[in-house]
Amino acid sequence: MDFKQVVSHAKEYGFIFQSSEIYDTLAAVYDYGPNGVELKNNIKEYWWKSMVQRHENIVGIDAAIFMHPKTWKASGHVDAFNDPLIDNKDSKKRYRADVLVEEYADKLEAKAEKEIAKAAKRFGDSFDRDQYVTTNDRVKRYLGERDTILKRLADDMKKGDLEDMKALIEELNIACPESGSRNWTDVRQFNLMFSTQLGNIAGEEGKLYLRPETAQGIFVNFLNVQKTSRQKIPFGIAQIGKAFRNEIVARQFIFRMREFEQMEMQYFVRPGEEMEWYEYWKDMRLKWHKALGTPAEKLRFHDHDNLAHYANAAVDIQFDFPFGFRELEGIHSRTDFDLSSHQELSGRKIQYYDPALEKNYVPFVVETSIGCDRMFLAIISNSLMEETVPDASGKDSTRTVMKINPAIAPIKCAILPLVKNKPELTEKATKIFDDLKFEIQCQYDEKDAIGRRYRRQDAIGTPFCVTVDFDTLTDDSVTIRDRDTLEQERIPINGLKSILQEKTSMSALLQSIG
């Protein structure tokens, strides 16, 4: 499905609404509806359990959004958490200069891909992609140009060379996507942190920030957590929480929001052992994604061209969103940058005594950081599809279905009396629902013909529908329909709970990570 269809489906079926819609919305801020919040909670549960429950040496915290303002001085965010900003003088639209250049580079890649696809069709089975990419002049030119541009951009970003970034935009003749105008301002730095004011202190002194990442809440609590949980290095601290960034580019739905949720885990290791753990967490995190059923070809690693000030290695797990491969999760080797900076600015010793080495040191950190909302978008865009299936009379019909992994589906099972105006059926169905609802997220639905109710459940990803029919009244059995195979099986009511629990089990999903 294309991106527009994903966005409208998310709204129509109660997954995601734009914030403050009755006031014409607030850009890049979104609310989760009844199905959305269930799916989001399940994603968080899957992540949390895979970190905290599955690893004896990972513990959780829930730090406050507000932190002492010195935190952001030490972390580098006050001075360096900037994006290069450019305004179009005619349209008055504001852009990230690096994103304009990246989009230009994406177009070159798309052109190359188009040539490759054409050739693949022409040559059929004998097509050798690698050979074609390295020998075809046109493809070589497109990809070469793309690489040169991205290299220059990476250098500019590293050096903070805003003038060259502007020159690059002009040389590439990039126009404002809204108006087509090439009348640009200079590029300047824009700090992404939202600030607010403490009630009892006036002026700069009382300036507070909404945290732009959850990680710092973990760093400043390092000793509190280590001492109270008696963890020994290597160990991790996990957290799920809101983060806020005053993003310039407010497009692409929940991919880039101004208020979003992060799921982060900081893993504290001995200095010198960080690369081993970096590889370990790269592997683990990819397995976590694949266990959900995300196809391997939709996930890839992308090394950072441009390392952040705190990192000695960094990679993104990119997902093939409907608008192309983009960052879904970051895995960063953050060295001892954060703990050392906090140690220096606070004047408090933040060190760990390693009994095996018989010495104190500031631990190194490997972090995994994933946006819950981006994960949500990856899941819905990967699972939403249109299919041709036989309807009740055996004729072909189209259905919209979300093939979400059953363990994280918003609703696990719908209980459906075959018809609504037969009290003996609705009473029986209600009784089944009441019996299941304490353990399984179920929905009772009696409105409309059974075929329409199936379609409604398909559209929100409900893996199982249980139908209560007239035979149920005599044989105490129900029909259970599988969302993906459409197979219907007759099973006794007393076996229903255990079958549903087994088929929608979060623990089985966790075990499958390997």
Residue 327 as a binder of ligand ATP (CB under 6 A): the answer is yes
Residues 345-384 interacting with ligand ATP (rule: CB under 6 A): 369-371, 373-374
CB of 382 to ligand ATP, least distance (A): 15
CB of 116 to ligand ATP, least distance (A): 27
CB of 27 to ligand ATP, least distance (A): 12
CA 76 – CA 26 distance, rounded (Å): 29
End-to-end CA distance of the chain: 31
CB of 69 to ligand ATP, least distance (A): 20
Question: Would you say 294 and 328 are in contact if contact means Cβ atoms under 8 Å apart?
Answer: no
CB of 440 to ligand ATP, least distance (A): 30
CB of 231 to ligand ATP, least distance (A): 24
Residue nearest to ligand ATP (CB): 371
Report the residue from 329, 336, 445, 446 that binds ligand ATP according to the rule CB under 6 A. Answer: 329
Nearer to ligand ATP, 249 or 486 (CB): 249
In the three-class reduction of DSSP (H, G, I as helix; E, B as strand; rest coil), residue 92 is classed as: coil
Which residue carries 């149920």 as its tokens?
A: 472
Residues 229-288 interacting with ligand ATP (rule: CB under 6 A): 245, 247, 256-257, 260, 262
Q: Which amino acid is at 322?
A: P
CB of 373 to ligand ATP, least distance (A): 5
Number of amino acids touching ligand ATP (CB under 6 A)? 16
Nearer to ligand ATP, 311 or 499 (CB): 311
CB of 375 to ligand ATP, least distance (A): 7
Nearer to ligand ATP, 86 or 496 (CB): 86
Nearer to ligand ATP, 96 or 146 (CB): 96
CA 450 – CA 444 distance, rounded (Å): 12
Span of 34-42, 325-333, 412-420, 445-453 interacting with ligand ATP by CB under 6 A = 325-333
CB of 330 to ligand ATP, least distance (A): 4
Q: Which amino acid is at 46?
A: Y
Nearer to ligand ATP, 237 or 257 (CB): 257
Residue 334 as a binder of ligand ATP (CB under 6 A): the answer is no
Angle (CA) 152-155-157 rounded to 5° is: 110
Half-sphere exposure of 1 (CA within 13 A, CB side): 25
Q: Report the Cα 267 to chain-centroid distance in Å.
A: 20
- Which residues is 221 bridged to in the sheet? none
Q: How far is CA 303 from CA 83, 109, 165, 314, in A?
A: 20, 18, 22, 6
Q: How many residues does the chain have?
A: 514
Question: Would you say 231 and 354 are in contact if contact means Cβ atoms under 8 Å apart?
Answer: no
Residue 45 as a binder of ligand ATP (CB under 6 A): the answer is no
CA 441 – CA 158 distance, rounded (Å): 49
Question: Would you say 34 and 441 are in contact if contact means Cβ atoms under 8 Å apart?
Answer: no
Helices 372-383 and 34-48: crossing angle, nearest 10°? 110
Residue 328 as a binder of ligand ATP (CB under 6 A): the answer is yes
Nearer to ligand ATP, 116 or 378 (CB): 378
CA 458 – CA 481 distance, rounded (Å): 11
CA nearest to 83, candidates 140, 196, 165: 165
Residue 463 as a binder of ligand ATP (CB under 6 A): the answer is no
Nearer to ligand ATP, 362 or 370 (CB): 370
Half-sphere exposure of 241 (CA within 13 A, CB side): 20
For the chain, how big is the Rg over CA atoms in Å? 26
Nearer to ligand ATP, 365 or 370 (CB): 370
Residues 197-236 interacting with ligand ATP (rule: CB under 6 A): 213
CB of 314 to ligand ATP, least distance (A): 8
List residues binding ligand ATP (CB under 6 A): 213, 245, 247, 256-257, 260, 262, 327-330, 369-371, 373-374
